[in-house]
């Protein structure tokens, strides 16, 4: 008898965004004339940088001639892109990462989930709360959790991020094997200092754990003191895998290109305690189940590292950061406590009321859609997330309406 993967029944339906969509469509049905401004879902709104579009066109034309046509590319990605990444994103910042440690993929969402396949089924996973829900759901689907009770899955070590710890989780009090960290953080927008990141690397080394470091929002970091990569931290190579994405850096959410770094000396252990490099395992997994990102898209990603591309990407990120600064300024002006928005497109706001009540208030009275913090985990209760991904004009209008509603 064919059986389903019953772990899927444990999942807490993708309640958050479907519930938001339902409330917004109910509101729209009842108030057809009302204009709604969406500052909820974290998708970019501005066009791809010109340099990327030009590279994309050129590569598409190459595909139209037998002489320049490309079929299957290397599963790990073309060297022209991997070399640029290694040089610009790591070596130029003093982080020791080489091109052959980089795996190009179609997204950090998939990579940060699929990476679990190379670890034993019995490992203990530590996940921040609040969290980008993908890490948790991937753990549930893989059968690495127990039941869902009182808002939490058995078997997961939840790491609270709250006002008390400046939204940086404390080191786990119990032994854990695989640790998800995300900085700049989604949903809180928090960043981590070099010293604290060092303490995580030290923890992982002492406890023979591995850190999965999601740096999808790295491009938003403005402060020189904030590490852009975990590999800026001494010895991190032994214990950390890093994920980066062109989605938010260069507006690739619909174009799809990302990469994962698995250093050659990053290891895990077998039942006898023997060390095994993770690089060959991920290489095997990647080559077996993934057939590479399309050639034109990799050329478009490569253009991010050209002189014009770098300027255009900076401008793109700067545009959203200006929105984020306005959100912060308005929210602070209303006397509400918030973090994020400085090195991140997200502002995390303590609404001093139930998250969904605050969501309804902003939707019904201001016509603004935010994301209720409780949808990201227990520790998100009482918070909302406002995203800077919209036009400056829409953000300005939304914030004026919020000000009017709350004063």
Q: How far apart are CB 69 and ligand PLP at their closest, in Å? A: 27
Span interacting with ligand PLP, options 76-84, 103-111, 303-311, 357-365, rule CB under 6 A: 103-111
Residue 130 vs 263, nearer CB to ligand PLP: 130
Residue 113 vs 405, nearer CB to ligand PLP: 113
Helix (H, G, I), strand (E, B) or coil at 352: coil
Helix (H, G, I), strand (E, B) or coil at 36: coil
Query: Of these, 210, 258, 300, 362, which contacts ligand PLP (CB under 6 A)?
Result: 258
Based on the shown chain and the rule CB under 6 A, indicate whether residue 16 belongs to the binding site for ligand PLP. Answer: no
Q: How far apart are CB 275 and ligand PLP at their closest, in Å? A: 29
Span interacting with ligand PLP, options 105-113, 139-147, 347-355, 382-390, rule CB under 6 A: 105-113
Total residue length of the chain: 407
Residue 55 vs 257, nearer CB to ligand PLP: 257
Name the DSSP letter for residue 89.
Answer: I
- On whether the CB atoms of residues 176 and 206 are closer than 8 A, the answer is no
Tokens (6 digits) for 407: 């004063």
d(CA 239, CA 235): 8
Residue 153 vs 183, nearer CB to ligand PLP: 183
CA-to-CA separations, 5 to 10, 114, 143, 158, in angstroms, rounded: 10, 16, 9, 24
Span interacting with ligand PLP, options 17-25, 107-115, 197-205, 352-360, rule CB under 6 A: 107-115
Q: How far apart are CB 188 and ligand PLP at their closest, in Å? A: 11
> Edge-to-edge strands of the sheet including 383-387?
337-340, 346-350, 383-387, 371-372
Query: Of these, 245, 294, 342, 387, which contacts ligand PLP (CB under 6 A)?
Result: 245
Based on the shown chain and the rule CB under 6 A, indicate whether residue 107 belongs to the binding site for ligand PLP. Answer: yes
Residue 300 vs 366, nearer CB to ligand PLP: 300
Based on the shown chain and the rule CB under 6 A, indicate whether residue 182 belongs to the binding site for ligand PLP. Answer: yes
Q: How far apart are CB 398 and ligand PLP at their closest, in Å? A: 20
Q: Phi then psi for 388, rounded to 5 degrees?
A: -90, 5
Based on the shown chain and the rule CB under 6 A, indicate whether residue 42 belongs to the binding site for ligand PLP. Answer: yes
Q: How far apart are CB 240 and ligand PLP at their closest, in Å? A: 16
Tokens (6 digits) for 306: 């050209």
d(CA 342, CA 324): 7
Q: Which residue is nearest to ligand PLP (CB)?
A: 107
Query: Within positions 119 to 178, which residues make up the interface with ligand PLP, using CB under 6 A?
Result: 132
User: Binders of ligand PLP: how many residues, by CB under 6 A?
Assistant: 13
What is the contact mask toward ligand PLP in residues 202 to 241, using x (rule: CB under 6 A)?
------------x-x-------------------------
Name the DSSP letter for residue 48.
Answer: P
Which of 253-257's residues contact partners 24+ apart within 8 Å by CB, and which partners? 253/43, 253/44, 255/48, 255/52, 255/56, 255/297, 255/300, 256/106, 256/107, 256/293, 256/297, 257/104, 257/105, 257/106, 257/293, 257/297, 257/298, 257/300, 257/301
Strand partners, 129: 160
Residue 327 vs 361, nearer CB to ligand PLP: 327
Tokens (6 digits) for 139: 């753990």
Q: Which residues contact 116 (CB under 8 A, 6 or more apart)?
A: 125, 138, 139, 142, 144, 178
Based on the shown chain and the rule CB under 6 A, indicate whether residue 180 belongs to the binding site for ligand PLP. Answer: no
Based on the shown chain and the rule CB under 6 A, indicate whether residue 108 belongs to the binding site for ligand PLP. Answer: yes
Based on the shown chain and the rule CB under 6 A, indicate whether residue 298 belongs to the binding site for ligand PLP. Answer: no
Query: Of these, 253, 265, 283, 306, which contacts ligand PLP (CB under 6 A)?
Result: 253
Q: How far apart are CB 179 and ligand PLP at their closest, in Å? A: 15
Span interacting with ligand PLP, options 54-62, 190-198, 245-253, 314-322, rule CB under 6 A: 245-253
Q: Pairing state of beta strands 178-182 and 156-160? A: unpaired
Tokens (6 digits) for 372: 């209720």
Q: Which residues contact 385 (CB under 8 A, 6 or more apart)?
A: 187, 188, 346, 347, 348, 349, 370, 371, 373, 376
Which residues are near ligand PLP by CB under 6 A? 42, 107-109, 132, 182, 186, 214, 216, 245, 247, 253, 258
């Amino acid at each position: 008898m064919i059986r389903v993967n019953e772990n899927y029944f444990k999942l807490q339906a993708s309640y958050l965004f479907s519930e938001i969509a339902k409330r917004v469509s109910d509101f729209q049905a009842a108030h057809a004339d009302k204009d709604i401004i969406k500052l909820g879902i974290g998708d970019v709104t501005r066009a791809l940088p010109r340099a990327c579009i030009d590279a994309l066109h050129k590569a598409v034309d190459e595909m139209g001639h037998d002489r320049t046509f490309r079929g299957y590319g290397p599963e790990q990605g073309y060297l022209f892109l991997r070399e640029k990444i290694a040089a610009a994103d790591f070596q130029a910042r003093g982080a020791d990462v080489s091109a052959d440690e980089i795996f190009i993929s179609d997204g950090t969402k998939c990579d940060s989930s699929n990476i679990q396949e190379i670890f034993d089924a019995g490992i203990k996973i530590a996940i921040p709360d609040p969290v980008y829900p993908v890490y948790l759901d991937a753990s549930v689907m893989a059968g690495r959790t127990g039941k869902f009770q009182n808002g939490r899955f058995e078997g997961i070590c939840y790491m609270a991020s709250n006002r008390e710890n400046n939204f940086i989780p404390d080191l786990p009090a119990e032994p854990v094997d695989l640790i998800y960290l995300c900085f700049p953080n989604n949903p809180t927008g928090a960043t981590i200092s070099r010293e604290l990141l060092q303490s995580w690397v030290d923890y992982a080394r002492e406890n023979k754990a591995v850190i999965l470091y999601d740096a999808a929002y790295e491009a938003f970091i403005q402060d020189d003191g904030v590490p852009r990569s975990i590999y800026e931290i001494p010895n991190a190579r032994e214990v950390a895998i890093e994920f980066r994405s062109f989605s938010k850096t260069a507006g690739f959410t619909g174009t799809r290109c990302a990469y994962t770094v698995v250093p050659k000396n990053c290891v895990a252990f077998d039942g006898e305690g023997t060390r095994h490099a993770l690089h060959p395992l991920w290489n095997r997994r990647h080559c077996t189940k993934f057939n590479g990102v399309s050639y034109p898209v990799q050329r478009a990603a490569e253009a991010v590292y050209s002189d014009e591309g770098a300027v255009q990407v900076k401008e793109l990120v700067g545009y959203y950061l200006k929105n984020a600064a306005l959100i912060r300024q308005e929210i602070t002006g209303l006397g509400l406590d918030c973090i994020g928005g400085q090195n991140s497109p997200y502002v995390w706001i303590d609404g001093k009321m139930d998250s969904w009540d605050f969501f309804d208030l902003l939707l019904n009275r201001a016509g603004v859609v935010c994301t209720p913090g409780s949808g990201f985990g227990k520790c998100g209760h009482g918070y909302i997330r406002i995203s800077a991904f919209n036009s400056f004009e829409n953000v300005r209008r939304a914030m004026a309406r919020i000000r009017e509603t709350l004063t």
